[in-house]
Amino acid sequence: MLYPRGSESRQIQSLDGMWNFRIDASPNRNLGFEQKWYSGRLSTTGPVIPMAVPSSYNDVTEDKNIRDFVGWAWYDREFFVSNVSQNRRIVLRFGSAHYYAIVYVNGIEAVRHDGGHLPFEADVNALLIVNGPNYVTVAVNNTLSPTTLPPGTISYKTDTSKYPEGYFVQNLQMDFFNYAGIHRHVRLYTTPKTYIDDITVTTTVDFASNIGHVNYAIEVVGDQSGTLKIEVIDKSGATVATGTTSKGSLQVNNPQLWWPYTMNVNNPAYLYTLKVSLTGTDLDVYRLPIGIRVVNVTSDQFLINNKPFYCHGVDKHEDSDIRGKGLDYALIAKDFNMLKWLGVNCFRTSHYPYAEEILDQADQQGVVIIDESPGVGIRSRNFGNESLNHHLEVMSEMYRRDKNRPAVCMWSVANEPESDTANAVPYFKSVIGYTKQLDPTRPVSFTCNKDYSNDKCVQFVDVIMINRYYGWYSDTGHPEVIQRQVNTNFMEWRKIYNKPLLVSEFGAGTVAGLHRQPSMAFTEEYQIEVLSQFHQAFDQHIGKFLVGELIWNFADFMTAQNPKRVVGNKKGILTRQRQPKAAAQLVRNRYNSMFNSSFNGDYRLCYL
């Protein structure tokens, strides 16, 4: 599915803004469907409040019932389409809505989508009224079940001595708040009736002869007799390669490669434009940003353009005050500025696919992405066929959305599943195998919190990713044992698997402004001690088989209420408002020295 981009043949109309909103708090949460709230304007069937789109609805109001709501929430708004666009194909596209969404246009169902973090769209020409007001209604349900990704359960509390009649709660299997609503852009866009439906690009580089190969496949829907022109255009606007077939390979001589910004500070993240023009009865033009680069994994290295890449990074959440998980350009800009300030060259989209607008910045700024699916907290009870089929579907939607992004250098299919159980084996063999089949050009992994002695699924991955909380969830208050435990653990993994290793989580909960000398858990001093003990351990393995470190977490983030969380998870090196805790300076010094240091015979020589 191509991201909507304006061109001489395509127009985009935003439907973002204030929508009307109401939760369906009826006991069975089904009143909206029983009364067909979609068959007229929402305001005619009950009271509505204004709700920002994109945003999560949870933290926008002062109402706890809305913040903690579980069930169907309803949105609607009015819009117009012009006569001109009626001659085109008109598509209604949602960047994402969490979790399950049903969309109606003028009271008729247009599309439904299962899954909270990926785009969906529908051709809506047949549903539109030209020269009249149209309305779109969206019902969004945030209920997580054993077969959703992430999975969850609903507990019905039937003991009426303790709970009122019909009382139920949502149980989560993940450590972040289940923000809900229309999280990303809603847009109408037009294409000609015959149109470019999909473009797939992979690149290879012939280093000896300094040639880049852009392999592409184009899918056209409609009349197939049109003429295609494919151009690779460089930053100066010059066309450097052309093609005319729907599938082919274009040669770019002396290519400017896409590099992470730390590997080529002077010319990072070089993007070409693949311009595809389709001329038939009508013209369609689509411009896709592409990067020429190649990713490989050996038994001990992660190579980008044949040079060893060391990931000095963070894990993140798409999370902020007020907007929850709603797309926010100021936040995206701030986060990338902060990532650069910290010297971060890589992040994992823990624990779900982030907005396309975030990945755009990663492509443009040269920050490597480990693209993670929403497969977080999958337990044994979730390894059934229905879950598996949904997981495969999610991987295919994710691949289809992000496949052309040079910044995406690895897929992570899951975070901390119960990979030590027997039924995890066929499940992950299938999910990882399927992802590799979709995309043979990128490594595939999942993050593992089991151990070398009991995990059963690391056998399928290309890079071992492990989450380790020495000094926090074990030996709390004892950072002095971290180095020993990291070293022992690394060597055990290494004895079993001849694969590169990346520490995909480590960290310590830290309440900003809390100090204690000597340090104690939750103080800023303690976070520094924990991180620096890990750093010293890592330094003994960098350049050998360790290919990266990701701190949990870039910033504090919201979780469900729970006696172990103080208004959310506080393992950020930044506060939720993106202000640095003391550890941010430690990380900044370490990460900046990693790419600023000159050739000195260690792994840093990998950097250009």
Residues 6+ apart with CB under 8 A from 392: 430, 431, 434
CB of 464 to ligand GCB, least distance (A): 15
449 contacts ligand GCB (rule: CB under 6 A): yes
Minimum CB distance to ligand GCB smaller for 361 or for 449: 449
**Residue 418 annotated to the active site:** no
**What length is written for the chain?**
608
Minimum CB distance to ligand GCB smaller for 42 or for 508: 508
Give the dihedral sign, CA 220/222/224/226. Answer: negative
Alpha helices in 297-355 (DSSP H): 329-342
Distances (CA, A) of 276 to 198, 233, 241: 11, 11, 12
Minimum CB distance to ligand GCB smaller for 150 or for 255: 150
Looking at 569, 587, 590, 595, which residue binds ligand GCB (CB under 6 A)?
A: 569
Q: Which residue is nearest to ligand GCB, using beta carbons?
A: 175
CB of 468 to ligand GCB, least distance (A): 9
Q: Is 98 helix (H, G, I), strand (E, B) or coil?
A: strand
29 contacts ligand GCB (rule: CB under 6 A): no
Looking at 76, 284, 416, 418, which residue binds ligand GCB (CB under 6 A)?
A: 416
Minimum CB distance to ligand GCB smaller for 259 or for 552: 552
CB of 204 to ligand GCB, least distance (A): 34
CA distance 530 to 549: 14
175 contacts ligand GCB (rule: CB under 6 A): yes
Q: Is 279 helix (H, G, I), strand (E, B) or coil?
A: strand
Q: How many CB atoms lie within 10 A of CB 600?
A: 8
Q: Among 231, 372, 416, 549, which one carries the catalytic annotation?
A: 416
319 contacts ligand GCB (rule: CB under 6 A): no
For the residues of 69-86, what is the DSSP string, one character each? --SEEEEEEEE---HHHH
Angle (CA) 457 461 467, round 5°: 75
Looking at 21, 460, 493, 552, which residue binds ligand GCB (CB under 6 A)?
A: 552
CA distance 254 to 252: 7
CB of 231 to ligand GCB, least distance (A): 43
Looking at 117, 535, 571, 581, which residue binds ligand GCB (CB under 6 A)?
A: 571
Residues 6+ apart with CB under 8 A from 371: 349, 353, 359, 398, 402, 408, 410, 411, 412
Residues 6+ apart with CB under 8 A from 49: 20, 21, 22, 61
Q: How many residues bind ligand GCB (CB under 6 A)?
A: 10
Minimum CB distance to ligand GCB smaller for 175 or for 529: 175
320 contacts ligand GCB (rule: CB under 6 A): no
Identify residues 327-366 at the interface with ligand GCB (CB under 6 A). 351
Minimum CB distance to ligand GCB smaller for 293 or for 576: 576
Identify residues 487-546 at the interface with ligand GCB (CB under 6 A). 505
436 burial (CB, 10 Å; 0-12 / 13-18 / 19+) is: middle
| Catalytic residue set | 416
Interacting residues toward ligand GCB by CB under 6 A = 175, 351, 415-416, 449, 467, 505, 552, 569, 571
